[in-house]
Structure 1
Amino acid sequence: MCQVFMDSPQSLFAKGDKDLQVMKAGAMLKKVKSKSWKKQRHFRLQEDGRTIWYKSRWAGTGHSTFSVADVEVVREGHQSEVLLSVAEEFPADLCFTLVFRGRRGNLDLVAESPSEAQAWIRGVRKLIQNAESMDDKERVDQWIWDWFQKADKNKDGRMNFKEVRTLLKMMNMDMNEEYALHLFTLADKSKSGCLENEEFVQFYKILTERKDMRRVFQDYSRDGQTLTLAELKDFLMQEQQEGERSREHAQELIDRYEPSETAKKQRAMSIDGFQMYLVSPEGAILDPQRLTLNQDMSRPLSHYFICSSHNTYLMEDQLRGQSSQEAYIQALKRGCRCVEVDCWDGPNGEPVVYHGHTFTSKILFRDVITTLGEYAFKASEFPVILSLENHCSVEQQRVMAQLLDTILGDMLLREPLDGLVLQELPSPHDLKGKILLKAKKIGGLEESETLTDEATDEVSDEAEPESPSAENLSAEALCLHDKKSKFSRELSDLVVYCKSVHFHSFEYSRLHSKCYEMSSFSESKARKLAKDTGTEFVHHNSRQLSRVYPSGMRTDSSNYNPQDLWNVGCQIVALNVQTAGLEMDLNDGLFSQNGCCGYVLKPDFMMNDDSFDPERPQDWDGYTSLQLSIQVISGQQLPKVNQKEGSIVDPLVRVEIYGVSQDQAKQETSYIDNNGFNPLWNETLNFIIHVPELALVRFVVEDYDKASRNDFMGQFTVPFTCIQPGYRHIHLLSKDGTAIPLSTLFVNVKISEVTTEV
């Protein structure tokens, strides 16, 4: 095998490690899906040290694989619902769970012995740590090694021209045979008719030479070989729009990315260093400084957009889908700071959580709260709002209150901070590490009246039947909103800053509502209010929290566009986070900033007395529009849509703007025939942005198909205010929101003021 690959960090790591040797030898592990579904599967680590292969002993030639890079964490013992359900049958020291990134379900496994389980647990953890610790060069080396393995069909450690032709198609590239042979011959220094050792690396370097970046480099390099400190400073100032910090930053970039010690001593940057800078996070379109926690977290809660989940307990659709604690774990890991619990009377006096009047499975309220207590603050230290949709009897509400109190302990907020009721909500900073209950409350925080053990009030807005959620929904259930419902004092007392109230009108709220009172709106009601009375909605949301939830007609757990509601300052715009698509891309894009903490500060004009109307932004006193110009230059290693070796994509790029209605726009490039490896567009798309503070920019790559709908390949969504101008790379994400290794777009972004209205 080629020495260059045997010396790669991954291969060296695999040498002699006892745990990895056990994994490479393979083992029969039980794959467990439920109490009744337990099947033996043969698992083994493949030679590449990063792919796990498994099959049934009866599956013939059929098998499955997954990459260790897709595994986020290994849980040991009974740390999943499935393994807990079989705890009596399988001891904890035999059990472990592989948790995947994105929306892929967990893999629950049972080993035949504790030592075997430990070998797999330790081995997978080592591989995850190794993958996460690789630098950019090591990742590229690994990428070359992976392709070499796939193309070396006869496994002789050499690659002939036929194998190279196959490789090019596997890599999403249909190259002219004569040109391919020319490149092959250039790399075949030994004239052996095969590529081996360094020759294949040389072939890869020829194949991946970035002429687009070299042209940019040479525009600023006097000698065409290096950028002097002054030349690099000019590039940073003129192209990257860095201004006065350019000189200091130029030296930092040389120190950080220049691989040549000679160039470093000369205070210069080579083309290799230049490329390393531009593909690094500093060269990305999303400003890395905006990825850190950088916003003022001392403002009232109502001044923030809050990452929120609807029907959080569901893994799938809301008619027949599975309810799971795992859904809460995934939502909280994504940064959600508002999760929903639908509670119903359960057997043995224990409340259960599920989508009422449907065929979704049921889980115990106790287990949901236990999960919340364990995972609430792992991704963010800022407060979590527990949105309670309460359908329980008074008796089981008391059980709920007791469980909340005993399980959450000091995490549960039980009374106003410092015992004071203020005129505005406390801040995320003030409420760090606290869980707030959102539910109906009898009376207010200011009142010292003694409540009876049971009190009545109207059912919360969420119970209003916008549509039946199942065919067998009873007439009695449809009339819920016309009835009175009883609430226990114990549960009511746990509601502090998120008291659910019915929305009457903006005028009523302005005159009578307290800052701790909040209303929930169906998507259709919220949209109508936003369109008809946008300015009033903005003012309302500067003082009070608003929650918006999807239509009951969305039985497939699809989502509405959250942008329309952010435009009027709605803080808790709840989405079905288990459902991938445009809407979740926008949500992930908005909340990717500020340390992914789940809170994003709203623009100033949404928090003061400005008369901002999203339908007429030009009437606002602070109105200034900007021009966004995006030159889509090239793509690199775009993903295949069809995994067949001979299938090659015809990629195009579409840029979509989401914001106020005047900013909604889409433009796309032409498509490139048969090249997903290094397509070149060099096309410029122009947009006018009227409200930059609310705009999101989404880059989408699709495989063009003239006969049917284009296939999705990758996307990236970024808040307009977080964009770095200049020559930038966009690191594409899959439909699930996970990174696609080495798959990028290269663009040049220019932002300027609009002097005359276009």
Structure 2
Amino acid sequence: MTTNNHLSYSTVYSLITFCFNGTQKQGHISFKTFLQGFSNIKVSLTRNANTKDIEAVREGHQSEVLLSIAEEFPADLCFTLVFHGRQGNLDLVADSPEEAQAWIQGVRKLIHKAQTMDEKERLDQWVWEWFKKADKNKDGKMNFKEVTKLLKMMNVEMNEEHILHLFKMADKSESGSLEMKQFVQFYKMLTQRDEVWKVFQDYSGDGEKLMLEELESFLRIEQSEGEKGPQHAKELIDRYEPSDTAINQAAMTLDGFQMYLCSPEGSIFKPNYLELHQDMTQPLSHYFISSSHNTYLLEDQLRGPSSLEAYIKALKRGCRCVELDCWDGSDGEPIVYHGHTLTTKILFKDIITTLKEYAFKVSDFPVILSVENHCSVEQQTVMAQHLRQILGDMLLTCVLNGQIPEQLPSPQDLKGRILLKAKKIGDVEGCMDETLTEFSDEEEMTNGDSDSPTKENPSADKKPEKLSRELSDLVVYCKSVHFHGFEHARTHAKCYEISSFSESKAKRLIKEAGTDFVQQNKCQLSRIYPSGFRTDSSNYNPQEMWNVGCQIVALNFQTAGLEMDLNDGLFKQNGCCGYILKPKFMIDPNIHFSPEKPEVQQGYKPWRLSIQVISGQQLPKVNQKEGSIVDPLVRVEVYGVPKDQAKDETTHINNNGFNPVWNETLNFVIHTPELALVRFVVEDYDKASRNDFIGQFTLPFKCIQTGYRHIHLLSKDGTAIPPSSLFVNINISEFT
């Protein structure tokens, strides 16, 4: 196996389907059978497949399937291929540990190669993939008929005479077909971008290249990067200019200029904001925390599967608060599932083992385990034993420095630690009461929020339940308590107490006393969870909760859509660590902020956001019917305080998903920039029915780079769809 090889999800699954011969067990096949499939249909790991489909390779028993057959197949024979997005994983068993390691290391090299490609390599790979798709007879050449079909596949509606003209220009040998190198030339002519050329011409003295001082001028005037000086311009030339001759002249050609604009440095997201850059030494209550609801579920909340994979995916997405609904298991081992439903069950101890492995792969900052406890005292004690034995020193079991806290510790203080959020006997100061009489977190619907058809109604005949001392002792900084009102909280609440609110109750409190909610969230944590009526695992809009400073705004991570786009957009900054420092007016106890009236805030300064939507590049097809081409439009949506909620869109472009040009400007006024998120959505216009989603990108307003920028679009489930992008020119100025 070489590092140039590629393995795709579709290729693997076609092999599995082909070589399935009755030896399959519970979703796995032997590696010998798998390899035989390659031999049988003469498929090798070649460049006709796509490495970027594979996210990771996991060694050992790291899935429900492999755990279930652990006695039959040792861990050193087993591994799992993990695919991006919503594609299922593939469990494999090798014939020997050496064979398993050879493939594990080989596939990891492929993944590393795919992840470390520069812009030119990514583009080359993309062109190669289209060449393979278009070369129907697999002769390594493309005739004119194949080229015209290719353009349809690429979302292009183009005059046939123009296509023929470009084809003949690329066909230097006049053979009537294009080989790979000639196809690259054809593609280069096809993708000449007049809108980029015009910007280039504005600053190029000779129309052929940008000299160092000309590039520096562009960066200063258009990109607002003048403070970086000539050294920055020289670094961009060295990094993105493909011509050695131009580099030696300290100049950038049009090819290099376009490569820079398409790079991370030319993207809309400020590169330094992608890194961990915020103060992480403030109390936990001062941060928004990426949080998941019913983390164990992969699908709906009535019949969907529960899976360890759901926890892994959430944690790898930056989630820092996961939920476990715990119930008595029939064999004395606690289980996790959505109570009173037909969702499948998984063992509590397996989840804890998974959390130990993956809690800190993406972020070093603390993970909160939000436990919905429905277990008997006996099985609660088993839960406590598993937590201690499996997590060891990772589990926080006592206050830091032996001091009674007056404020919550910081993410920095709690690095590498796992915190339990649950009911507790007494308090940290030592108050004892063996009997728990309060209802569990998601049973607060008795106060007018009866919005959960799947949770037991405690108002019927529920009796007070006992709480295990062993489990209670593991709760330190996240003691779950019932909310008795803001006035009661002001006089009685302690910093380590946390209340949970259904979305409907939270919305009511926001409407009735939004400012009080902001004040409480300055010193205490609040958790919001979706209505129980969302049996399809849909989500509420988290922005309304963030507007009043709620930290743990829990969403169903398994459900793609606007709500998870906003969550991913907010937490993309600060190194994707799962913690975002709240604005000063949500931290300082002397500032009283009202999301309904941002204009009364001291230092209020609104901004004008002007977005010129110039063009789009290589937008994906949404309708796979032959001859179908998208009619794209771009909508810009702003989410924030009520005054900032706005959206506007361009007109649609008929039959062009390859290089549509709009040149339309959309304007917005941002009243509270610290809380605003901006979402770019591309849709396929349909006058007779609802528009089809093509791609989106969401980011905080404060993370936007001005100037000529590319927006690299994401699919519905949040994965990249290169090279699809938008080209925009952004201006931000004070609104007067």
Tell me the residue number matched to 1:49.
Answer: 46
Provide the C-alpha distance between the structure 2 equivalents of 1:162 and 1:103, rounded to a whole number of angstroms.
35
Q: Secondary structure at the match of 2:125?
A: helix
Q: Contact 1:80–1:326 (CA<8 Å) still a contact in 2?
A: yes
Tell me the residue number matched to 2:633.
Answer: 652
Identity of aligned pairs, percent? 69
1:693 aligns with 2:674: yes
Provide the C-alpha distance between the structure 1 equivalents of 2:540 and 2:27, rounded to a whole number of angstroms.
37
User: Which of 254, 274, 289 is the matching residue for 1:271?
Assistant: 254
Q: 1:318 to 1:30 in 2, by over 3 A?
A: farther
Tell me the residue number matched to 1:684.
Answer: 665
Tell me the residue number matched to 2:604.
Answer: 623
Q: Contact 1:303–1:602 (CA<8 Å) still a contact in 2?
A: yes
Q: How many residues align?
A: 721
Deviation at 1:464, TM superposition (A): 3.4
Equivalent position amino acid for 1:641 in 2: V
1:274-322 deviations in Å (ceiling 9; x for gaps): 1111111000001111111000000110000000000011111111111
Tell me the residue number matched to 1:613.
Answer: 594
Deviation at 1:553, TM superposition (A): 0.3
Equivalent position amino acid for 2:485 in 1: S
1:619-670 deviations in Å (ceiling 9; x for gaps): 1112110000001111111111122342211111111101111111111111
Equivalent position amino acid for 1:13 in 2: N
Deviation at 1:43, TM superposition (A): 4.4
Tell me the residue number matched to 1:56.
Answer: none
Q: Which moved more, 1:559-568 or 1:96-105?
A: 96-105
1:741 aligns with 2:732: no
User: Which of 273, 283, 292 is the matching residue for 1:300?
Assistant: 283
Equivalent position amino acid for 2:652 in 1: Y
Deviation at 1:50, TM superposition (A): 4.5
Provide the C-alpha distance between the structure 2 equivalents of 1:199 and 1:51, rounded to a whole number of angstroms.
19
Mapping of residues 17-416 of structure 1, within 5 Å: 28=19, 35=26, 43-44=37-38, 46=43, 49-50=46-47, 67-111=50-94, 117-118=100-101, 120-416=103-399
Provide the C-alpha distance between the structure 2 equivalents of 1:216 and 1:531, rounded to a whole number of angstroms.
48
Q: Contact 1:354–1:361 (CA<8 Å) still a contact in 2?
A: yes
Q: Contact 2:292–2:323 (CA<8 Å) still a contact in 1?
A: yes
Q: Secondary structure at the match of 1:13?
A: coil
Deviation at 1:349, TM superposition (A): 1.8
User: Which of 513, 516, 521 is the matching residue for 1:536?
Assistant: 516
Tell me the residue number matched to 2:501.
Answer: 521
Tell me the residue number matched to 2:4.
Answer: 13
Provide the C-alpha distance between the structure 1 equivalents of 2:570 and 2:160, rounded to a whole number of angstroms.
45
Provide the C-alpha distance between the structure 1 equivalents of 2:5 and 2:504, rounded to a whole number of angstroms.
56
Q: 1:419 to 1:496 in 2, by over 3 A?
A: same
Q: Which moved more, 1:502-511 or 1:303-312?
A: 502-511
Deviation at 1:528, TM superposition (A): 1.3
Q: Secondary structure at the match of 2:173?
A: coil
Provide the C-alpha distance between the structure 2 equivalents of 1:545 and 1:24, rounded to a whole number of angstroms.
50
1:709 aligns with 2:690: yes
Q: Secondary structure at the match of 2:674?
A: helix
Provide the C-alpha distance between the structure 1 equivalents of 2:202 and 2:114, rounded to a whole number of angstroms.
36
Deviation at 1:734, TM superposition (A): 0.6
Q: 1:34 to 1:456 in 2, by over 3 A?
A: farther
1:225-256 deviations in Å (ceiling 9; x for gaps): 12222221221111111242243322221222
Provide the C-alpha distance between the structure 1 equivalents of 2:350 and 2:339, rounded to a whole number of angstroms.
18
Provide the C-alpha distance between the structure 2 equivalents of 1:675 and 1:291, rounded to a whole number of angstroms.
32
User: Which of 580, 583, 588 is the matching residue for 1:603?
Assistant: 583
Equivalent position amino acid for 1:492 in 2: S
TM-score by length of 1: 0.91
Q: 1:349 to 1:12 in 2, by over 3 A?
A: closer
Q: 1:576 to 1:384 in 2, by over 3 A?
A: same
Q: Contact 2:364–2:415 (CA<8 Å) still a contact in 1?
A: yes
Q: 1:440 to 1:742 in 2, by over 3 A?
A: same
Equivalent position amino acid for 1:740 in 2: I
Q: Secondary structure at the match of 2:545?
A: helix
Q: Secondary structure at the match of 2:242?
A: coil
Equivalent position amino acid for 1:742 in 2: P
Deviation at 1:130, TM superposition (A): 2.5
Q: 1:460 to 1:574 in 2, by over 3 A?
A: same
Provide the C-alpha distance between the structure 2 equivalents of 1:679 and 1:251, rounded to a whole number of angstroms.
32
Q: Secondary structure at the match of 1:438?
A: strand
Q: Contact 1:521–1:549 (CA<8 Å) still a contact in 2?
A: yes
Q: 1:43 to 1:636 in 2, by over 3 A?
A: farther
Q: Contact 1:467–1:553 (CA<8 Å) still a contact in 2?
A: no
Q: Secondary structure at the match of 1:332?
A: helix
Q: Contact 1:31–1:38 (CA<8 Å) still a contact in 2?
A: no
Q: Secondary structure at the match of 2:91?
A: strand
Q: Contact 1:221–1:231 (CA<8 Å) still a contact in 2?
A: yes
User: Which of 623, 648, 673 is the matching residue for 1:642?
Assistant: 623
Deviation at 1:11, TM superposition (A): 8.8
Q: Contact 1:357–1:469 (CA<8 Å) still a contact in 2?
A: no
- In structure 2, the gaps of 5 or more residues are none
Q: Which moved more, 1:489-498 or 1:639-648?
A: 639-648
Tell me the residue number matched to 1:457.
Answer: 437
Q: Secondary structure at the match of 2:312?
A: helix
Q: Secondary structure at the match of 1:414?
A: coil
Tell me the residue number matched to 1:443.
Answer: 426
Deviation at 1:467, TM superposition (A): 4.7
Provide the C-alpha distance between the structure 2 equivalents of 1:629 and 1:594, rounded to a whole number of angstroms.
25
Equivalent position amino acid for 2:244 in 1: E
Tell me the residue number matched to 1:59.
Answer: none
Q: Which moved more, 1:671-680 or 1:645-654?
A: 645-654
Q: CA RMSD in A?
A: 2.6
Tell me the residue number matched to 2:647.
Answer: 666
Q: Contact 1:657–1:666 (CA<8 Å) still a contact in 2?
A: yes
Q: Contact 1:343–1:353 (CA<8 Å) still a contact in 2?
A: yes
Provide the C-alpha distance between the structure 2 equivalents of 1:349 and 1:154, rounded to a whole number of angstroms.
61
Provide the C-alpha distance between the structure 1 equivalents of 2:47 and 2:403, rounded to a whole number of angstroms.
56
Deviation at 1:13, TM superposition (A): 3.0
Equivalent position amino acid for 1:320 in 2: R
Deviation at 1:267, TM superposition (A): 2.3
Deviation at 1:604, TM superposition (A): 0.6
Q: Secondary structure at the match of 2:622?
A: coil
Q: 1:554 to 1:197 in 2, by over 3 A?
A: closer
Deviation at 1:36, TM superposition (A): 8.1
Q: Secondary structure at the match of 1:305?
A: strand
Mapping of residues 465-544 of structure 1, within 5 Å: 465=445, 466-467=449-450, 477-479=457-459, 483-544=463-524
1:428 aligns with 2:414: no
Tell me the residue number matched to 1:55.
Answer: none
Equivalent position amino acid for 2:490 in 1: R
Provide the C-alpha distance between the structure 2 equivalents of 1:24 and 1:340, rounded to a whole number of angstroms.
37
Q: 1:478 to 1:501 in 2, by over 3 A?
A: closer
Q: 1:14 to 1:380 in 2, by over 3 A?
A: closer
1:562 aligns with 2:545: no
Q: Contact 1:635–1:676 (CA<8 Å) still a contact in 2?
A: yes
TM-score by length of 2: 0.93
Tell me the residue number matched to 1:731.
Answer: 712
Deviation at 1:423, TM superposition (A): 1.6
User: Which of 499, 520, 529 is the matching residue for 1:549?
Assistant: 529
Equivalent position amino acid for 2:472 in 1: S
